[in-house]
Chains A and B, each alone.
Chain A
């Protein structure tokens, strides 16, 4: 057993829970900020999140194993924590300024080939040292892994809550990270006691954090050059930035353009094509896109009253501040009622009946947005429409040729929309406007041009001169024929496939093989996707001999995977039923962390009963997953999700402690269990939301987890020998 360092908190009369709690606090906070900034600078889809979270977990696991194998002295805990804090600040700066050495434009998107090394590089720099710290904390606490686990879980829960509830709403990402880092530095200095080397490390960290705070605004101005950076807000939902070029104001959300002034084409298309179907409409619902010109266009219809739903209040606030007079007045028009909430929950709770529902959101590139393109949402929209009312949305397309990837993406939306509406028509072009109704729709250019003129609408694009080309009957019918002839799956809440198809399309821009592989995966029957994963799990269970000291840790490998996949599934499921999960995210994660903490607290007992306990816990995990499976189609209340996550945490915490204690009774290696847990989580993070959820669906994925955990249960019951 290693010596306690002089600076260990117990020597100062402080709680031994403090170092791991500080570690958990720092690691969780840094992880959140890294993911947020990463998705601003690289395209923020599920693959991005999976990559950066996966890289974080992988390197955390590797750091843990490294510290254990290389016997890094426990006294290095504080120095490494402070250096990790400094390095993290540098990672954030490197991410923001990377476009200059990489010769990227402010608005240029990049593919996996650049994203992958960045995710891995940043994960290595930021997470590897934090992964080492868990082992050092255990060593410093004389191998009391349970106490360290509890402390880390508590710190992580606290970090998640403080970042979500306090820092993100009031501070930018850089300033929030600087504040977290400062707290870590001060706590480290106080808890560890005086020491020349440590103060040096604290000074370095302090400098880096001060740099983050001071250069947040200048670095954003630099990033946007030669645009003029006007304002920015880091909100719970993303990063809003307002820039100006000459007279043109543009609003970006996490790097993606929301609107530019002086470019009414998008707003005209999204509003007038559905409005012209029902020129006498009295009541319309606009979900998103109102501030960027949608409202101004809709208000051209004199009789209309509009409910405009926007998730992020800052979009409206910034628009009111920076939009030209005409667009700004639209937001203040008495015929407009603005609701600042999730569009799906608004629609579900609304008692109104609308003549028009216009979905004006980005294409379904993420699971979060995909909720608005599922069969269930389309059915909800159909139910809220008046007789003959029209529902519409627009997505990017290609006018002259639909690649197989794009066809698959569009065909899924078409097929899904058709499952909820009797009539569906599509306006062809570089963007496709999907129109759906129970009544007959009209895409006759002459008729629509007459309606435009009859209503006295002043438009630049939706007008007689453009419509015959845009609504060429041959193009209209050709597009439908193509989509009807393309095999594509239905996009549903429990099998959200559209964002996977969108990811294929996105990847196909980079002339790389990923798109081809993904397209093939999309065509595989589900069973072929799940069987190899099960076989792999079985292989691991079979080839590692039961007598091997590391065998009790195998449950941890699958536990990490099970936990993260279950968490992702529950969050997706929650936001499907109850709207955007963001507002509730902190509470949901806190429930899980509280479970981990409780699991750690009650994960005690004598060594001779540990095997039996592990068997019971594995059986509990199988039972928990089975209950989840049978409840998947039930409209569950919010409380269920908190309870489910609490239960998952309790089980997970106990499995972690029990497996580790079994292993540590044979071998003093504090890092292996933690490392395996993180590596399992890495695999889950990488595969779950980007690939497995859309392809296998929540039900298929739950079955996979049940099978994996049942196999683990059998292996534990049959092979572990104490």
Chain B
């Protein structure tokens, strides 16, 4: 079954998928406001006296009484047992170009089956997907899509990868890990698009199951994280280091917000840190800010700011630095760091692999880090 058939209707999709993810999607749009919650025990929490629990999934360490939800809004203490309410209950399922995540060094030009549930463990004032990230589990129209069905969908739709994205996948940790394992069994890779607020133990388990992680580094300033993200910088940096150390593929995105996190000094400090901790081969994407969510009235990032940021990161020694959301700048191509041959030509989601040969520059044979096959 191709994408068209899958998305188009219940009947064909149901036949193809047994009980039918397609049917579930139709259900989604027919009964959009109906709560559809799971009750699967969470894996990382500590039981405390008086039916209290402490969530140990992310650095927030929410301490919750009976019937209370974590900050993420999708995990609940019920009678002393901590449950995830979104296991197998995504609210967004799409097939996207992998460059949209963005992953530039992972199977360029392919499609990624992208899923998300409600919820997030931070509250960025510039969130692009606030309608699913900043709501509780029952406030979205979720469908039933267990891990094996997600894997089957990826196969059916010719997606070599599954991306856990849009909202914060850490909050649907159990679903993500089980789906990644089911996908691996079917020869599909898993990609995580995260803000990086996760504790070491669950991160370690996650890294066993997935293949690549893109971390949104929102700033290199702890104050920025406090004021505009309601999170902390330190655990994000720890996550970046842990991913790099694990050998899983890592890319980093830095959304450049005018006047908030765009000083050349901050960019240089961040680049130096990346160079020292994870090395020069980690692709670094500077992304252009557009007015969004609570910061609706701030203008977009000036193009020169993006170019200066890229120049600063390159000058510090990062080898693969890209600019996103600004197609006029032509800073999306992958260029061989040694001979400067353009290896992959990109314009938005149009990708031409020009001079890559089995993960090497076809011209000078320099290995180009990434997942290429």
Contacts and interface: CB of A to CB of B under 8 A. Distances in A.
Interface stretch (B75-83, B190-198, B243-251, B294-302): B294-302
Contacts of B227: 103
Nearest to A398: B131
19 contacts: A105-B260, A105-B298, A107-B295, A107-B299, A109-B294, A109-B295, A245-B258, A245-B259, A255-B297, A400-B116, A400-B166, A401-B91, A401-B132, A403-B131, A403-B135, A406-B131, A464-B350, A466-B348, A509-B294
A465 B348 CA distance: 6
A485 interface: yes
Interface stretch (A141-149, A157-165, A313-321, A471-479): A471-479
A427 B320 CA distance: 34
Given A248-B299, A460-B328, A474 B92 contact: no
A404 B327 contact: no
A583 interface: no
B45 interface: no
A247 interface: yes
A252 interface: yes
B302 A247 contact: yes
Contacts of A227: 259
B29 A398 contact: no
B348 A398 contact: no
Nearest to A469: B349
Contact of A465 (B32, B92, B347): B347
A194 B116 CA distance: 73
A250 interface: yes
Interface stretch (A117-125, A257-265, A495-503): A257-265
Contact of A481 (B29, B129, B131): B29
A460 B350 CA distance: 13
Given A398-B131, A400-B132, A474-B8, A465 B350 contact: yes
A226 interface: yes
B297 A107 contact: yes
A643 B3 CA distance: 63
B44 interface: no
Given A246-B302, A481-B29, A108 B4 contact: no
Given A108-B125, A509-B294, 14 more contacts: A103-B227, A108-B298, A248-B299, A260-B299, A398-B131, A400-B92, A402-B131, A403-B135, A407-B32, A461-B327, A465-B348, A474-B3, A511-B134, A511-B135
Counting chain B CB atoms within 10 Å of each CB, the highest count among A246, A255, A478, A508 belongs to A246
A256 to B, nearest CB: 6
Interface residues of B, number: 52
A478 B8 CA distance: 8
Given A398-B131, A482-B29, A247 B304 contact: yes
Contact of A469 (B97, B139, B299, B304): B97
B140 interface: yes
Contacts of A469: 96-97, 100, 348-349
A106 interface: yes
Counting chain B CB atoms within 10 Å of each CB, the highest count among A406, A461, A465 belongs to A465
B193 to A, nearest CB: 12
Given A404-B32, A469-B97, A474-B8, A109 B296 contact: yes
Nearest to A403: B131
Given A403-B140, A460-B328, A108 B295 contact: yes
Nearest to B134: A511
Nearest to A249: B299
B291 A257 contact: yes
Contacts of A509: 130, 134, 293-294
B94 interface: yes
Interface string B194-212: 0000000000000000000
Contacts of B140: 401, 403
A256 B297 contact: yes
A595 B227 CA distance: 53
Interface string B90-125: 011010110010000000000000101000000001
Contacts, number: 127
Interface in A427-469: 430, 460-461, 464-466, 468-469
B134 A398 contact: no
Interface in B350-372: 350
Interface in B128-184: 128-132, 134-135, 139-141, 166
A252 B297 contact: yes
Contacts of B266: none
Interface in A132-183: none
Contacts of A256: 296-297
Interface in B248-294: 258-260, 290-291, 293-294
A615 B283 CA distance: 81
Contact of B94 (A226, A260, A400): A400
A398 B91 CA distance: 13
A473 B7 CA distance: 10
Contacts of A403: 131-132, 135, 139-140
A474 B7 contact: yes
Contacts of B291: 107, 257
B147 to A, nearest CB: 20
Contacts of B116: 400-401
Given A103-B227, A109-B297, A398-B129, A460 B4 contact: no
Contacts of B30: 485
B134 to A, nearest CB: 6
A257 B299 contact: yes
A246 B8 CA distance: 47
Contacts of A248: 299-300, 302-303
Contacts of A473: 4
Contact of A401 (B4, B131, B293): B131
B308 to A, nearest CB: 9
B300 A460 contact: no
Nearest to B350: A465
Interface in B316-359: 327-328, 347-350
Interface in A670-720: none
Nearest to B297: A107
A106 B298 CA distance: 7
Contacts of B32: 404, 407, 486
Given A401-B132, A403-B131, A465-B349, A105 B4 contact: no
Contacts of A477: 8
